[in-house]
Amino acid sequence: MRKTVDFLVIGSGIAGLTFALKVAKHGKVCIVTKSKMDDTTTSWAQGGIAAVMYTPDSYEKHIQDTISAGDGLCNEEVVRFTITESTERIKELVKWGTKFDKTTTGRYDLAKEGGHSEYRVLHHKDSTGREIENKLLDQVKKHPNIEILENHFTIDILTQHHLGMEVNSRMPGITCFGAFVLNPRTHLVDTILSKITLIATGGASNVYSNTTNPLISTGDGVAMVYRAKGAVENMEFIQFHPTALYHPEEKPAFLITEAMRGFGAILKTREGKEFMHKYDARLSLAPRDVVARAIDNELKISGEDYLYLDCRHLNKNELINHFPTIYAKCLSMGIDISKDMIPVVPAAHYTCGGIKVDVNGRSSIVSLFASGECTSTGMHGANRLASNSLLESLVFSHRASEEAIRLVGSISHCHEIPDWNAEGMVLNEEMVLITQSLKELQSIMSSYVGIVRSNLRLQRAYDRLELLYRESEDMYNKSILTPRLCELRNLINIGYLIIKAASRRHESRGLHYSLDYPRTKPK
């Protein structure tokens, strides 16, 4: 099947939905999502969204906190406009129906998280992302110009390579013409042609064994752009959230939001002793890279599998009111957080690098935009400041929509793109190999490319990944495609990008810490 639209949006989280709503007045929009519409990383966001709302906070304070957390690699121009636009983007969310918690006086009940110098995180209990996702979906579902394709897996974006031609004078840059999409009803690959395409596919943390991200976070957008020869950068900066609930049998790991530490919870050893004073003056509220490395070091010293987050000294009623989801989850495991310490361990959480985009969300590929966790905007640098991710998505989807609206009238569809060629592909009876290969990949990345790295570990990871790559590509080229096979292919691409980027960075900075290039000065 062939479909022609003005705007193709790949992904249904905050970045994709915001863009779709803004461009829908100017053409036909098709949102493609590989799962259910609300099955997104956005829906899993507990903590909140950072924005300057009241004094004594200020844009400048938020800017400096962001740059400090980014360890010198943030693009200051991007940081400044993202934060100064934050207040307007929050007002827009509220206009669309989002309800943030307020105090009895009617002011927003702002939280404070690691790396923030002021209370500036808006939240809806401990399920902020779910609230935002639901309200955006309410708006999208009733818009006549927006079509939603659930359970459709995007295999690759369409470029000159699918025309059997190289970049030439007629098309001087690599150009995106749409995407090949796997249709769950026919099990065939559809061709969707678009004038403008936005990739908003989220992160890639399932390249690791232990992650707080949903199983859908497989780096699809980044891998597609890489294969299309688009610019990808800063993939070495993978953020490990310091406090995931320790429960090895559960995947993904349940997140214990950083807002809980902002509320007053304290990190402690298995013996109940505080330890963050040995690593940073900000204690349990230091930036995530600092806290994750501190926990990793404490676990290596003690040989334990986890340590604790202590909330027992906090007011029980206020604790439960602010964190009802966490309270209920822990209680289901026999942990009363008002009486018992919470066992926690770091887990892969956020991809700071990704598709390189400019200040308007444009990638290096013509007619291809990107927004959200799949991008590298310059906002996060070497380490994302807590609760800046939802804000970044809002701002860049807004800017991308304005640029896309300006350009769409001058772009024509490319009808020369051939349909998908499935000749020679057969149903693979060894699909169990996909599951086994994924476990091997996750084990390689967790063992050698985790919180602490070295040249030796990276080389071992590369050598082992090379064999997995050859095997998976052979399977991909011969098999009838399935989402699981495509996700494995994408995750292997992601692993390669992380390893190569980490190998090229001969220093320890932010989320990339190498035993061979230790930091020469404190953070």
Residue 295 neighbours by CB under 8 Å, 6+ apart: 242, 267, 307, 344, 345, 346
3-state class of 59 per DSSP?
helix
According to DSSP, the β-strands at 2-10 and 29-32 are parallel
According to DSSP, the β-strands at 146-149 and 2-10 are unpaired
CA 373 to CA 220: how far, in whole Å? Answer: 11
Adjacent-strand bridge partners of 309: 267, 342
DSSP 264-327: T-EEE-TTS-B-GGGT-TTGGGS-HHHHHHHHHHHHHHH--S-EEEE-TTS-HHHHHHH-HHHH
Which H or E run contains 245?
Answer: strand 238-245
63, two tokens: 């800017």
Task: Decide if 302 contacts 326 (C-beta within 8 A).
Answer: no
Catalytic residue at 288? Answer: yes
pLDDT at 480: 83
pLDDT at 289: 87
142, two tokens: 């009733």
168, two tokens: 């030439």
Using only C-alpha atoms, what is the Rg of the chain?
A: 22
CA 225 to CA 7: how far, in whole Å? Answer: 18
The phi-psi region of residue 367 (left if phi > 0; otherwise alpha if psi is between -120 and 50; otherwise beta) is left
* Catalytically annotated residue among 120, 130, 261, 288: 288
10 Å CB burial of residue 84 (0-12, 13-18, 19+) is middle
10 Å CB burial of residue 189 (0-12, 13-18, 19+) is buried
Q: What is the pLDDT along the chain (523 residues), one digit of tens a residue?
A: 899 999 999 999 999 999 999 999 999 999 999 999 998 989 888 779 999 999 999 999 999 999 999 999 999 999 999 999 999 999 999 999 999 999 999 999 999 888 899 999 999 988 899 999 999 999 999 999 999 999 999 999 999 887 766 555 455 589 999 999 999 998 899 999 999 999 999 999 999 999 999 999 999 999 999 999 999 999 999 999 999 999 988 889 999 988 899 899 999 999 999 999 999 999 998 888 889 999 999 998 999 999 999 999 999 999 999 999 999 999 999 999 999 999 999 999 999 999 999 999 999 999 999 999 999 999 999 999 989 999 999 999 999 999 999 999 999 999 888 888 877 667 666 678 899 999 999 999 999 999 999 999 999 999 999 999 999 998 888 888 899 999 999 999 999 999 999 999 999 999 999 999 987 554 4
Domains recognised in the chain with CATH numbers: 2-236+352-408 (3.50.50.60), 243-348 (3.90.700.10), 432-504 (1.20.58.100)
CA atoms within 13 A on the CB side of 423: 2
Adjacent-strand bridge partners of 232: 355
Name the DSSP letter for residue 162: G
CA 502 to CA 479: how far, in whole Å? Answer: 32
Which H or E run contains 342?
Answer: strand 342-351
DSSP 191-215: EEEEEEEEE-----GGGSSSBSS-T
Task: Decide if 386 contacts 119 (C-beta within 8 A).
Answer: no
pLDDT at 522: 44
pTM of the full predicted structure? 0.92
3-state class of 238 per DSSP?
strand
3-state class of 119 per DSSP?
coil
DSSP 450-507: SSSB-HHHHHHHHHHHHHHHHHHHHHHHHB---HHHHHHHHHHHHHHHHHHHHHH--S
pLDDT at 433: 85
